[in-house]
Amino acid sequence: MSPNGGPAARPGPDDLRRTFEAVPARTSDADGPFAESWWGRAWVEALESLSMDEARLARGREYADGGHVAAITVTPGRVIAYVHGSRPRPYRAELRLRSFPASDWDTLLDAVAARPGHLSALLDKEMPHSLVDTAGEAGIRLLPAAGDLDPDCSCPDRGWPCKHVAALCFQTARLLDSDPFVLLLMRGRGERELLDELGRRNAEHSARERPETPAMPSVAASDALADRFLPPLPAPLPVPQYPGEPPSYPELPGARDPLGLDHLATDAAARAHTMLTTGDDPLAGLGTWQDAVRIAASRPTAGLTATTRALYRELAFATGRSTTDLARAVAAWRQGGAEGLEVLETAWDPPAGPFDRARPALASADFPRFQPRRNRLTDATGTLQLRFGHDNRWYGYESDPGEDDWWPRAAPDPDPVAALTALRG
């Protein structure tokens, strides 16, 4: 749980992905309002006006009250969670909400920054009516109406929404109660980015309102130090032939796992040695998440040793991801390095060329029909998929029947027929 009583959240490395832990079943006041804040209740009202079936809404609230909603992941325009229904396997429920374009954000941020009270309220995890009114005056509807919500679920129920999405909606209202930045993330911007941008715009607005004062005279640092004697730096120590061994880390009560720390120190020593001997950083350009995946992929997974498990826990905790997310990303890295990870996480629209020729090539090799979607080809059974990378290679993926849970399989190949042959074993 978070300090203010809401569900605890694990922010993603880029502040645009937040995962909230599952909320336990409510043991009291189950008949009271599901949301306590006025903006949380506005969310519930949008859900209730969306639905034409009171019975599904009631069942969805029972699911939410009963703790049937697993961890909730919020990204721009989407809220996703697995919801446990009457069958053993949970259903994947999703709710989409329109993100604001950049022009709307510029208009909204300028309007909000002009009123310091709005920024103070957001820092206190509050959303005053005046902030929503300010957005409305700028022509931007911050809180959703019925037509803004677009539900989807993997269950066979065609209700609009079904009880699983309704449960997700009710649980999302509880997230909004504890943190209005969840709504702003759905609309397209993360908390750190918003606060930085609001602070900058607020400072600019205040500066425009202050009278100008004459600039104080300044002295260049080189002039200030010109009459001082600065001794030369000593010569650097010679670079050893091999990276040194990291120190031994004792097991201290409450400390992080020393086995994972030892592996991270060994990796850092090897990287430093390469930079000293070549002058180049071998990991330049890698983000925090990419580097974490690279480190995890460097460990053998056969048998999942204690060191590997400890390292996975450390890296998953540091990047705000689950160990399952990390394991899937490691499989993609081993499949194709940084490009393999990009193929896993980002869909894109290939230009005319090799991608268009893939389906005729597969058909001529007597493979079943594949359905294209962006850079992906999926077979009719929904269990095999080829993804086209920016490196013009085809990456094989596999999922269980009826699940949208794709894992990298087999080595990539420039030839889609060869890639599919390898994927099918």
pLDDT at 303: 41
Whether the predicted pLDDT of 344 surpasses 90:
yes
pLDDT tens profile 282-320: 777 788 888 888 888 876 654 445 556 667 777 888 888
Q: Sorting pLDDT into bands at 50, 70 and 90, what band is 93?
A: very high
H or E stretch covering 11? strand 9-11
C-alpha 401/C-alpha 125 separation (Å) is: 42
CB 368 within 8 A of CB 376: no
Token duo for residue 343 = 């193929």
| % of the chain at pLDDT higher than 70 | 81
Could you please report the per-residue DSSP string of 190-215? -HHHHHHHHHHHHHHHHHHHSPP-PP
Greater confidence, 48 or 389? Answer: 389
Q: Is the pLDDT of residue 395 over 90?
A: yes
Query: Which residues make Cβ contacts (< 8 Å) with residue 246, sequence separation at least 6?
Result: 262, 265, 266, 269
Of the pLDDT bands very low, low, confident and very high (cuts 50, 70, 90), residue 240 is confident
Query: Is the pLDDT at 23 greater than 60, yes or no?
Result: yes
Instruction: Tell me: pLDDT of 155 over 60.
Output: yes
